[in-house]
Amino acid sequence: MNINKEILLVLCLAHFFSLRISAQSTYQLGSLPSINLNHKLENDWTVNFKIESRQVMQRGSFDGKSEKSFDYVLTDYSMIAAKKLGLNSRLSGGYLIRFREKEIIHRLIQQYTITQRLTSLRLAHRVVTDQTFFENEDTEYRLRYRLATELPLNGQSADIGEFYLKISNEYLNSFQSSEYDLEVRLVPLLGYTATEKQKVELGIDYRVNSFLSNNARNSFWICLNWFVDI
Amino acid sequence: MPNYIIQKCLLFLLVMSSTALYGQVKYEKESRMKEKDVPKMALDFINSLEGKGKVKWYLEEGLDQTSVEAKFKLNRQKHSIEFDTTGNLEDAEIQLTWKEISPAVRDSIDFFLGQDCKKYKIRRIQIQYSGEPGIVLQKIKTGEKVSDYAVRYELIVKCRKEVNVNLYEYLFSESGQKLSVSQIVFKNSSHLEY
């Protein structure tokens, strides 16, 4: 992709988001820390355990109303097993359990990833289908696509003791009770390769949904991710 | 069972699963270098090449040795010149296409790759010159061989064996004899996948 195309893409995204943030749009601001544990098995199998928690610190609308309060929202635990198919591709399947107030939610996950190693960056394409089972709601089916890139800030790869930028853009199509919704996520993160087996990332996870039929709901999560190979 | 007990059990399982450690992988760190930090001999060598594109300098730190590397384009070909930390030339690598290698050498390389791999694809080919700096410099500048220097071929090959597919770095002699092979271990990409 040349520079002109990149500028065009950024302008399109900026235009898209500026349309969606109207005065009636609501927002929430909070934190989304996560721990990712990865374990390598024999015959090109890997397994990933993830714990992610969500807390809201402020809610409001873009017309000025806001309310500050610290509320714990939920915690997710997931386990995904992956098998390397080709040199750069992996097929995975897993299960997530979500604890939200007194409700327990179950999710089945299937994903396919392709990681491209270019001269000075890495690109990862991820296609996910998942099915979420609620206690008092119909099952939600989602189809997701995410493009993530790692840009080393020094040299051609993010080595130990070096920083990198990780930017991802994801589109989530949701189908539930014959209703459709689209969520868009944009996640810029600053990462640090602490050791051969540990990475830490800090940034913002921006999400917007409900904009197709209602006022947009915007979420800004402060992310702190810790990746560990065990 | 209350939710918090299930959560505690899951956390315990996660911590308990973190026991087995995997073997060491080769440590190699590569970082950009400023031109002012490049050894004078290395800088003089590169500066004597006319018509080259922008030069990028790198410091490659391995377990056994540290090298200084210059990467640039000359005559539309990618060049990579490696020096030791005092500026002595180690080798010069120039990217080639498969057709630029002589048919006899190609046949020999094909034979060895066919022995190792069920199916293979050559991703990158570099011809490697090493020897007296003046002679290697002359070779890069004019393409002429004025005296003896060593020639090797370095190939990056995607190789499918019985159960898995991996990327390998092969080193072949000037006549196409296999000298060494090592598997390229990719950096972990789990932070891009999950």
- Residue B18: predicted pLDDT: 35
More confident residue, B188 or A58: A58
- Residue B13: predicted pLDDT: 46
Q: Which structure tokens are listed for B21?
A: 């450690």
What is the full DSSP assignment across A134-197?
-SSSPPEEEEEEEEEEEEESSSSS--TT-EEEEEEEEEEEEEETTEEEEEEEEEEEEEEEEETT
Question: Please, what is the Cα angle at A187 between A44 and A29, to 5 degrees?
Answer: 130
Contact of A77 with chain B, judged by CB distance below 8 Å, is answered with yes
- If you search the block for the tokens 């400023």, which residue do you land on? B34
CB-closest option in A196, A225, A230 to B18: A230
Cα distances from B10 to residues A78, A97, A229, B60, B94, in angstroms, run: 10, 10, 18, 42, 53
Contact of B58 with chain A, judged by CB distance below 8 Å, is answered with yes
- Residue B22: predicted pLDDT: 30
pLDDT in tens, A151-195: 999 877 888 889 999 999 999 999 999 899 999 999 999 999 999
Mean of pLDDT values over A49-78:
92
Contact of A58 with chain B, judged by CB distance below 8 Å, is answered with no
- Nearest-by-CA chain B residue for A161: B29
- Residue B92: predicted pLDDT: 94
- A36 pLDDT exceeds 90? yes
- A20 pLDDT exceeds 60? no
pLDDT in tens, chain B (194 residues): 455 555 555 544 444 433 333 323 344 667 888 999 999 999 999 999 888 889 999 998 876 788 999 999 998 899 999 999 999 999 999 999 999 999 999 999 999 999 999 999 999 999 999 998 888 888 888 877 767 889 999 999 999 988 788 889 999 999 999 999 988 888 888 999 99
Q: Is A65 exposed, middle or buried (0-12, 13-18, 19+ CB in 10 A)?
A: exposed
Q: Sign of the C-alpha dihedral, residues B35, B36, B39, B42?
A: positive
Note whether A43 contacts B163, CB cutoff 8 Å: yes
> Mean pLDDT, chain A, as a whole number?
89
Note whether A199 contacts B194, CB cutoff 8 Å: no
- Residue B193: predicted pLDDT: 93
Question: Cα(B78)–Cα(B95) distance, rounded to whole angstroms?
Answer: 5
Bridge partners, residue A188, by sequence: A167
pLDDT in tens, A71-106: 999 999 999 999 998 888 999 999 999 999 889 999
- Neighbour-count burial for B19-45, b at 16+ CB within 10 Å, e otherwise: eeeeeeeeeebbbebeeeebeeebbeb
Contact of B189 with chain A, judged by CB distance below 8 Å, is answered with yes
CB-closest option in B10, B22, B29 to A77: B10
Question: Cα(B111)–Cα(B101) distance, rounded to whole angstroms?
Answer: 15
Decide if the complex's ipTM is over 0.90: no
Q: Which structure tokens are listed for A42?
A: 């024999």
User: Highest mean pLDDT: which of A53-67, A125-139, B125-139?
Assistant: A125-139
Contacts of A124 in chain B (CB under 8 A): 189, 192-193
Contact of A120 with chain B, judged by CB distance below 8 Å, is answered with no
Q: Which amino acid is at A206?
A: Y
Contact of B23 with chain A, judged by CB distance below 8 Å, is answered with no
